[in-house]
Amino acid sequence: MYTIKSYMFPQSLEAAYELLSRDPKNNVILGGCCWLKMGRRRLRTAIDLTQLGLDRIEVRDGWVEIGACATLRQMETAPELAGRFGGLLSRCVAHIVGVQFRNCATVGGSVYSRFGFSDVTAALLALDATVVLYRQGEIPLADFMAMPIHFDDILVKVRVRDDGRTAAYESLRRSTTDLPLLAVGVSRLDDEWIVSVGARPASARRSAEAAACLAAGGTPEEAGEAAARELTFGTDLRAGADYRREMTKVLVRRAAEACGKGGEQA
C-alpha cells in the first residue's frame, strides 16, 4: 500500500505544475488512481487534477479533443466519438476490465504512462493523434511514445484531427475483460494509411512498412506480413513472441479489410 503525506486540489494547471516541479520523484499527478501501482511507497504530495475541467470530450475547430481526466467510460459512450473514425475510440476501450474500472480509469493515465498493454495508445496512434503537455506543448503521439518516460510534466489533453479518416481496431484477449495480448489499429485517409501494433507486449508502435505496403496497393495479407517482419515482439505470461508475431499478420489483415482494403467494405 502506498501512503500520501499531503493531498492537494490545485485550482489551475500553473499551480499543479508548480507542485509537481518541487519534487517530480516523490510528488505524483492523480486522475482516477487506477494506474498508480500498489506497493510500499511513500508519496510526498498527491496532485489531484479533477477540479480543473480536464474531463471534457469536445469537437471544435476541426479537432476532436479528449481531456486527460476523461474516463475510459466517457470514451466508450461519448456521442462525439461514436460516429467518428468508424467508432474506433469507443470500441477500443469496451473490453477493458469492467464498467466500474472504466468509470475511474482516465485517458491521461493510459496515455502518459505508455503502458505496453494499453488499448488506448494503440488506437490513438492509428489516428495520428497528438498530445498537449503543459510545459512541452503539443507533440505527435508517435514522438511522445518514443520519448523516455519522465513524470515531470502534465498531460492536458489528446487531440485527433476530425478529418473523416476511416479506422478499425482489433485486439486479442484470453477473455473478454482481460488485458490484450495484442492490439492493432489501422486507419485510412484517401491513399494514406497508418498501422499501429500494441501489447507486443511493449508499448504501441507504428509499422511504416505495413502502411507503405497498403499505400502502394499491397494486399492486407502483405501488410500483415510487413508489420510482423518490421516490429519486435516479446514473451510474457499471456503469450509468446512467435504467437504475437503470427497473430499480428491476422489482426492487421482484418483491420485493413475493415478500412476498405481489398473490397470488403466501401
- Work out the average pLDDT over 4-25: 89
190: CB partners within 8 A, 6+ apart? none
For residue 33, the model assigns a pLDDT of 62
What residue spans define the domains of the chain? 3-48, 57-161, 180-258
CATH H-level superfamily of 180-258: CO dehydrogenase flavoprotein, C-terminal domain (3.30.390.50)
Digit-coded pLDDT (tens) for 35-49 = 665 556 777 888 889
CATH number of 57-161: 3.30.465.10
Angle at 252 between CA 251 and CA 255, to 5 degrees: 85
Residues 6+ apart with CB under 8 A from 252: 184, 186, 195, 197, 207, 210, 220, 223, 224, 227, 228
C-alpha cell at 245: 508475431
> What pLDDT is stored for residue 188 in this prediction?
97
DSSP 189-222: ETTEEEEEEE-SSSPPEE-HHHHHHHHTT--HHH
Of the candidates 239, 266, 248, the residue with the CA atom closest to the CA atom of residue 195: 248
Angle at the Cα of 153 from the Cα atoms of 150 and 157, rounded to 5 degrees:
115
Amino acid at 30: L
Categorize the per-residue pLDDT at 1 as very low, low, confident or very high, splitting at 50, 70 and 90. Answer: low
Classify the phi-psi angles of 34: left when phi > 0, otherwise alpha if psi is within -120 to 50, otherwise beta.
Answer: alpha
Task: Write down the pTM of the prediction.
Answer: 0.90
Contact 66, 80 (CB under 8 A): no
Collapsing DSSP to helix, strand or coil, 252 comes out as helix
**Lowest-confidence range among 71-75, 117-121, 173-177?**
173-177
Element spanning 111, H or E:
helix 107-113
The pLDDT tens digits for 247-263 are 999 999 999 999 986 64
The answer on pLDDT for 123 being more than 90 is yes
For residue 253, what pLDDT is reported?
A: 97
- Span 180-235, pLDDT tens digits: 999 999 999 999 999 999 999 999 999 999 999 999 999 999 999 999 999 999 99
Q: Are 90 and 75 in contact (CB under 8 A)?
A: yes
Rounded CA-CA distance 30/108 in Å is: 9
Percent of the chain beyond pLDDT 70? 92
68-92: average pLDDT:
93
| Banded model confidence at residue 13, pLDDT cuts 50, 70, 90 | very high
DSSP 96: S
Residue 242 predicted with pLDDT over 80: yes
Q: Quick: pLDDT tens for 130-160.
A: 999 999 999 999 999 999 888 889 999 999 9
